[in-house]
Amino acid sequence: MNKVRTRFAPSPTGYMHVGNLRTALYAYLIAKHEHGDFILRIEDTDQERFVEGALDIIYDTLKLTGLKHDEGPDIGGPVGPYVQSERTDIYLKYAKDLIAKGEAYYCFCSKERLDKLREGAENSKKTYKYDKHCLNLSKEEIEKNLHDGIPYIIRQNNPETGTTVFHDDIYGDITVDNSELDDMILIKSDGFPTYNFANVVDDHLMGITHVVRGSEYLSSAPKYNRLYEAFGWNVPTYVHCPPIMKDAHHKLSKRNGDASFEDLIKKGYLKDAVLNYIALLGWNPRGENEIFSLDGLVDAFDYKSINKSPAMFDDVKLKWMNGEYIKKMSKEDFTQIAMPYYKKVISKDLDFTKISELLQPRVEILSEIPDFIDFFESLPEYSEDLYVHKKMKTNFENSIKTLEKIIPMFESIENWNIENIEKACMDLVKELGVKNGIVFWPIRTALSGKKFSAGGAYEIADIIGKEESLKRLHIGLEKLKNAAN
């Protein structure tokens, strides 16, 4: 068996869409599972769509995710160049080879004529298809047109009868009537190849054994196969992946502003969690485990387990998975990645390690951190109604009693630490003969001013210190007394 070689061939047209990253990941996993090569090729033949900085996004994303390519524009390799705009002479040569075989032809039709054909197809509610007008031009007519500098394109010459069969490893054998095949453009009037033609030529010359792409390209596959057959080349293994949907009717799409890989990282998702989740969008691992490192994915990945049915991008599941990754981090690593979020809302010199201990089990996305901890910086404005909690059985009256009694107990603590603070709270529970919540809820509310926060009463008090704790408890008591009156 030939060495497995796959490629990721993005166009530098913007950010890294989730679907693009899945294609890169699957291509990488197929190659590495078989100890093969993963190649990066830049497809920039559509110069009008080129976006400045998009190449950097491609390189940065592959580097960040650990999808290390074995050959590519930045590191070279034996079958370069790896940028399509640097290979234009190659495509023209192969297109002319097809003309010589009768498998392609020059087309000199004007834009006006093609527009009329398209308009006629639309009016008759038929699929537009070129009418082979230029196929039967004589050799003399072709040479005269070329000599006169008339703009031309080169088209594939597809048969109009019979069928074309191609095999996909996910979707099986697919048969298409040749009457449905358009004579697709191979070389455009600007001399650049079309995406479809350049792909076939490059995949062959670069020895690509497995082509991974979205299922939207299934309809183009018969035309690719006819090109392979016309050249007498081996057809690679096709692996078409199901679409990624954001709901039952709409595909995830960068044109619709759906999240890119960059967006997800900026929102506070971890790159390993995103990569893990994207792997599961269309692929089912054997067994119950869903949490995989990249090396674990390489070992487990079998592309024949990719589904045909669309994959749903589930924000809730991604959030859960990200939370699982956060929980597994060391406290030191979590504090380090959380620090920029801490600094957004806390300027005081607090013990951030203690804050991390409270936060790490609770947070699922890093961008949630500021809302969890902003009260450590200063007490927010809050309503006294927060003290009333049905489940805790607290009201204004018992909350006032709690705060009145805990303030002198806290004032008497000489060695301010979490153990002594907790002991004071528990002593008050015993003294009042009440459930924990009746004591802890009013204290926590007075210290945080929030319905939800990282940490309980004594943990918060320990972090913000004795002076700030007493100040906030006095504010809470005054607020309650005013409300009670």
The binding site for ATP consists of 254
Length in residues, the chain: 485
| Binding-site residue ranges | 254
Contact 41, 7 (CB under 8 A): yes
Q: Measure the CA–CA gap between 458 and 129, rounded to whole angstroms.
A: 75
DSSP state, residue 189: T
Residue 16 C-alpha from the chain's centroid: 7
Q: Which residues are catalytic?
A: 254
In terms of phi and psi (left: phi > 0; alpha: psi -120 to 50; beta: otherwise), the region of 338 is alpha
Q: Measure the CA–CA gap between 244 and 253, rounded to whole angstroms.
A: 9
Q: Measure the CA–CA gap between 404 and 8, rounded to whole angstroms.
A: 67
Contact 385, 466 (CB under 8 A): no
Listed residue (280, 90, 65, 301) closest to 191, CA to CA: 90
Q: Which two tokens stand for residue 66?
A: 């650990």
CA distances from 469 to 358, 424, 436 (A): 18, 14, 19
Q: Is 365 helix (H, G, I), strand (E, B) or coil?
A: coil
DSSP readout, 37-68?
A: EEEE-B----GGG--TTHHHHHHHHHHHHT--
- Residue 174: strand pairing partners: 166
Residue 100, C-beta contacts closer than 8 angstroms, at least 6 positions apart: none
Q: 260-296: b or e for each residue (b if 16 or more CB lie within 10 Å)?
A: bbbbbbeebbbebbbbbbbbbbbbebeeeeeebebee
- Residue 154: strand pairing partners: 106, 187
Output 90-95 pairs: Cβ under 8 A, ≥24 positions apart.
90/201, 90/205, 91/186, 91/187, 91/192, 91/193, 91/197, 91/198, 91/201, 92/187, 92/191, 92/193, 94/201, 94/231, 95/154, 95/186, 95/187, 95/193, 95/197
Listed residue (139, 127, 99, 133) closest to 114, CA to CA: 133
CA distances from 19 to 25, 128, 152, 255, 273 (A): 10, 28, 35, 12, 16
